[in-house]
Amino acid sequence: MKATYTIHLWKPSDPNYIALSNYPQIGNEEDYAGGKLVHFQETVSMSTYLTCFIVSDFTYTETFFDNNGTQIPFRVYATPEQLEKTKYAGTVGKKAIEYYINYFDIPYPLPKLDMVAIPDFSSGAMEHWGLVTYRETALLYTPETHSTENKQRVLVVVAHELAHSWFGNLVTMDWWDNLWLNEGFASYIEYKGGHAAEPSFGLMEQFLVSEMHPVLNLDAKLSSHPIIQEVGTPDQITEVFDTISYNKGASILRMLEHTVGEDNFRKGVTNYLNKFKYGNAVTNQLWSEIQDVVGPSINIDEFMGSFTIQMGYPVVEVTVEGDKYMLKQKRFLNNPDDVDKQKPSPLGYKWTIPITYITDKGKSNEVIWFNRSNDNIVIEKPKDIKWLKFNAHQAGYYRVNYPKNMWNQLGSIMNELPISDRTHLLEEAFSIAMSGEISYDIPLELTKYLKNENNYAPWKAASTDLLNIYKLLQSTKYVQQYKNYVINILTPIYNNLSWVIGVDDSHLTKLTRVVVLKLACAMDYDVALKDASNQLDNWFINRTAPPDLREIIYQYGMKTADNAKWEKMFKIFKEETDASEKLKLLRGLTSVNNPSLLTRMLEFSKDETYIRKQDYFTFIVMVSRNPIGLPLVWDYVREHWEALVKRFTLNDRYLGEIFPGITTSFSTKIKLAEMENFFKMYPEAGAGTAARKRALENVRNNIVWLSKYKDTVDKWVLSSSS
């Protein structure tokens, strides 16, 4: 529901205090009840959840952005001592919002725009119209204190929230079952706005590893849900602010844009915004506007509906018959044994899939439609090609499984493929092997090429999958041989990048270094651990370390630290005022191999002067990532569950997410039984209902993995190291 608002705010008479709301202040402040009364202009018609009012002693930096010839004041607020850290957000925010004004071809609708960094804020950020609120970690940045990852986070969160000014604020979903219209769209368009502001960051090639791969993993479980689902209670509303609404929403919009073309997509979106501005809409109304632009050649509703009204996604199975490719489809599940347990689907788990491909002669321009009503389709092999890979650039939200000889052929030409296709094949092969549809020999063979890989996205994809396997092998017989193999393939890039940041290093090179150093340390590479330890010793002496490397230095340098070092770091942590640096120090404190120090931290965490409420669950998961901390945290959460519910309430989705977060490496029937018993003891889950199902399914899948695939991985690793 929408209304116009006229806000009046009381604030203390202390001149350092300011009052802010969605619209600018009008008139003078009045003396009132021992303080001051501040009046604001009436707003445009907008939804209740977008109103905002703030009374604070914050200060701001200011710029202006061009709104079709009008200069709009654009301020970034923070606590006075952090004012310098607001400039970057103002610079990239100005570029992003000017890009959106041009992209949507609709002026920014309000007379001002403020962004505010709030010291303790439960959400990452919130798109209140004209007064956008953020955690400090999502808005504040300086090169002296913050890492490349911190810088990119500020960029994409600002670009995300400002995109909501049109998608979500100007046009709002009719009800929360269509939340993805807000969040999926902002999660996709943030990459365009972010790229416009920082073209050298390579954001578009990061989309796969940041957005798509995490949701493909989640959406391959029974505990997933459709993008559009019934929502009837506050807990259910809170729960749909999840990876499906954000990441899957973004991924299917990217697929749609790749299919209909950038211009058609953009025109359809602008028509939709103009038609429903200051009102509400549902998903089909967006499809209808894009359909009008595209014409009858594609049935947008049938195509996109198959990805929004049913959960999951297809795997396209390829067989080769002479000069023909025969394609079939079925639902992809991490554990195919679960197929009989899946909920009924309105479309029978069949999808209308846009099939594309790339060959040694380039990307094919045509889209071949695999309609959900067809059992299979046949594609003629193009003449005189050496190789072919389906789903070019992984633009489509589906997987492709090939015969073994095609997998081997693709493995042999990895260096010839574009970055996105190399990234795609690495993630795809490991995921299909997890489902048992191909042998783990195939993805592991693919990783051999990494000795020659220097790019971020493929290393990020490979690192994620190699660490997932390591997590499951940790207490098995041949884990050292596995670690030796990973160290072997990463040694060339480790030596190339090292711990020294070059003055000419690109943004992506800096991100790649962090991924490689983290992987090397996680694999207990003695050279890397020694480097981390030496860097930490130097840091304790002179308190300087490159911001990009601090988290790794703290985490792995502290692993074997004694009590004196820990106490020293804890003192520095208590005195640190920067939110991002505080989290890095917390990572170090939670990485120590000393259970009594970790137990102390768990007790300290009850006091918000040590750990802010917003960071509590991040802290708990950090401790659980330490093998020594995991049993402590698991006992602690169960023992203190009633106190945690009282403190955060069951409506807090982050409280629900604690279970998938801390049980991710459980892989025994005993741990599964402990989880099931605890959930029976406390059946009320609130906004964590789906998270519990996900946690249980993940542990069951881990148990299955060890029984089915561990031996294959062991055998391959032993043969590769002999």
Give the DSSP H/E element, type plus range, for residue 712.
Answer: helix 710-721
Please state, as a whole number, how many other Cβ atoms lie within 10 Å of the Cβ of residue 518. Answer: 17
Q: Give the Å distances, CA to CA, from 222 to 198, 216, 331, 607, 688.
A: 38, 12, 11, 38, 16
Query: Any alpha helices (H) in 277-320, and if so which ranges?
Result: 283-294, 300-308
Torsion angle in degrees (nearest 10) through CA of 528, 530, 535, 540: 140
Q: Which two tokens stand for residue 435?
A: 């489902």
Please state, as a whole number, how many other Cβ atoms lie within 10 Å of the Cβ of residue 51. Answer: 17
Annotated binding residue 164: yes
Alpha-carbon distance of 131 to 115, in angstroms, equals 6
DSSP 8-state class, residue 83: G
Is there a contact between 695 and 660 (Cβ–Cβ < 8 Å)?
yes
Is there a contact between 360 and 387 (Cβ–Cβ < 8 Å)?
yes
Alpha-carbon distance of 109 to 99, in angstroms, equals 15
* Residue 453 annotated as catalytic: no
C-alpha closest to that of 165 among 258, 100, 246: 100
Strand ranges (E), 57-183: 59-67, 70-78, 113-118, 125-126, 131-135, 171-173
DSSP 4-18: ----EEEEES-TT-E
Is there a contact between 44 and 278 (Cβ–Cβ < 8 Å)?
yes
Annotated binding residue 195: no
Catalytic residue among 136, 161, 453, 551: 161
State how far Cα 133 lies from the chain centre: 19
Write down the residue that tokens 């003629």 correspond to: 380
Q: Which residues contact 576 (CB under 8 A, 6 or more apart)?
A: 582, 585
Which positions are annotated as active-site residues? 161
Provide the annotated binding site for Zn(2+).
160, 164, 183
Provide the annotated binding site.
160, 164, 183
